Amino acid sequence: MTTCDTCGNSYENTFTITREGQTKTFDSFECAVHLMAPTCSHCGCRILGHGVQSGTTMFCCAHCAREAGHEQASDRA
């Protein structure tokens, strides 16, 4: 059995995700999201969808991007 890198649970059906040359092992998508999903630069929540990017800064939504001074961010055209 392999151990989850987030919660430490030993589980026979783990999976791995590799990002930027670093591989992590997880027992659930919840643990993978907790460890690997980016966070919004304004409110700190985990970004589970596409999010909004301004330069190299990530936000969960256009509202947070605008609150951080990126006035042109929009949720829709």
Rounded (10°) CA dihedral 48, 27, 23, 8: 110
Of 42 and 75, the one with more pLDDT: 42
Q: What is the mean pLDDT of the chain?
A: 94
Specify whether 24 is located in the same domain as 10. Answer: yes
Mean pLDDT of 1-22: 95
52-68: b or e for each residue (b if 16 or more CB lie within 10 Å)?
bebeeebbbbbebbbeb
Specify whether 49 is located in the same domain as 32. Answer: no
pTM of the complete model beyond 0.75: yes
Percent of the chain clearing pLDDT 90 (strictly above): 86
The domain tally of the chain equals 2
In this prediction, residue 76 carries a pLDDT of 78
Which of 76, 46, 40 is CA-nearest to residue 59?
Answer: 40
